[in-house]
Structure formats: structure tokens, C-alpha cells
Amino acid sequence: MKLKIYALWFVVALTAFGLSLGLIEIGRYLQTAFSSEAKNEAKKDEAKKEESVGTVTIEEITYPPRVVNLTTVPVVEQPAPVIESKENTENEFYADGDYYIIGKLPKGFRDFENLSIVTRDYENASEENNYEGVPIPPKGFFLTKKEFNFTRINIANQQIAFETEAKKGISYQFVGEFIEGEAIEVKDKDGYEYTDYAVLKGRLKKMRDGKKIAESEVKFAIMDGC
């Protein structure tokens, strides 16, 4: 009788042990599954972050293609957008202006001063179009302690991408989009708080001999009077 009882206890103990192992394995499986899912979600979020601006490339933007250092055609003879009527231009988007980075300048871009974009000629416009100017192929420069002229700039559907010339191996690239005044609260070096309005945002890169040495997401405001 005692032998049967011991045998029964032994079976019960083995069963309990087996169940505990099963629960442990289930726990490990769930932990691994949730961990993998969390990692996948993190990767997806990171991918979305990268795609927020980086999906647009200079090659994908064609308004009209403007490769300054490769073209032999003078700027005045290059193709420009055609204005069909005054009604079609009332709400037309203008990229012209001088832009500055809102807030503290990011690391690697502390010597940045302003970005200048020109898409219209006002000096050679007729009296009738003097206010609106004459559309020309986009041009401009990226100003630090030195002036880096664009070697390539494309603008389309309020998206923009440009590359600058290289000076002593240093050049700049930007891909972004124009936006409607996004209010941003800023605090200056004296602690004074004020509101600035971003009209251009995107990813700015600094290159040395063709290799990236600095990169940052930036937002630009336009200078008064531009």
C-alpha cells in the first residue's frame, strides 16, 4: 500500500515538474515573441522617420532639371515655367527668398548664415509683370563663412533638393519641402522666448570629398522682406 502511495506521489511530482517546465518555456516564448515584435516596431518607426524626408531625392525632382556645372546653355536661354494666365498664378507657389535655420544651429553647421533661392527675374521683367517677375531656372547659394553656389537644384510640388559646389572638399546637400508657417517656440541666448514660423524643412548634409561628415533635420524661416 505504501509503495503505491509513493508511486502516486512520484507520478504527481513528475507531472508538476513537467508542467512547470512547460510554463517556463511558454513564458520564454512569449517574452521572445513580444521582444521581437517590439524590435520590429522600433525598426518600422525608424524606417518611417528616415522616409519622412529622405524618400525624395534630387533625381526624383524635376523642375526643370538644373545642373549648373554641366550645362553650356546660358541661364537666360534655359527653359523656364510658362505662365498661362493671371488666374492660374494668383495662388502660385514662390520659393524665392533668403532663409535661416530656426533655433540653435546644429552641430556641424554652426557657421551657417543663410540659404538664398531665386526663381524669378525682376530686373528684366516687363512693366506688366514687374511685380511678379519673369520665371527663370532656379538658382542660389548656401552661405556660411563662404558662399557655396548651387551646382544642382530642383523644385517641384513644393519639394526641393539641391547640391552645392565644393570648396576645399566641403559641399552641402539638402532634400526637403516647403510648408505653411509652422509655429515654433524659440528661446534666444538671453532666455527671451518668441514664436518663429517654419516655411521650409528637410534634411541637410555636409560633405567632405564626397563623404558625409554631418547631417541634421532642420527647419527654416524666411527673412522679413523676402
pLDDT at 96 over 60: yes
Question: What is the pLDDT averaged over residues 40-49?
Answer: 54
pLDDT at 30 over 80: no
Output the average pLDDT for the chain.
73
**How many Cβ atoms sit within 10 Å of the Cβ of residue 2?**
6
| Cβ contact 109:204 at 8 Å | yes
pLDDT for the residue 56: 41
DSSP 59-119: GG--SS--BTTT--S-GGGS--PPP--HHHHTT-----EEEEE-SSPPTT-TT--EEEEEE
Distance from C-alpha of 106 to C-alpha of 217, rounded to nearest angstrom:
9
Among the residue ranges 12-26, 44-58, 151-165, 166-180, the one predicted with the least confidence is: 44-58
Answer with the residue of higher pLDDT: 48 or 104: 104
pLDDT for the residue 187: 86
pLDDT at 57 over 50: no
Question: What is the pLDDT averaged over residues 170-181?
Answer: 95
Spell out where the chain has E strands.
97-101, 114-121, 134-143, 147-156, 159-164, 170-187, 193-208, 211-222
- pLDDT tens figures, 110-128: 999 999 999 988 777 666 6
Task: Please report, for the chain, the start and end positions of each structural domain, with discontinuous segments joined by +.
Answer: 1-55, 58-222
What cell numbers appear for 84 in the block?
A: 498661362
Cα separation of the two ends of the chain: 101
Distance from C-alpha of 205 to C-alpha of 178, rounded to nearest angstrom:
18
Is residue 45 very low, low, confident or very high in pLDDT (cuts 50, 70, 90)? low
| Cβ contact 158:175 at 8 Å | no
45: Cβ contacts below 8 Å, ≥ 6 apart: none
- pLDDT tens figures, 116-171: 999 988 777 666 655 677 888 999 999 999 999 999 999 988 899 999 999 999 99
Question: Highest-confidence range of 12-16, 86-90, 182-186, by mean pLDDT?
Answer: 182-186
Is residue 98 very low, low, confident or very high in pLDDT (cuts 50, 70, 90)? very high
Is residue 91 very low, low, confident or very high in pLDDT (cuts 50, 70, 90)? very low
Question: What is the pLDDT averaged over residues 36-48?
Answer: 56
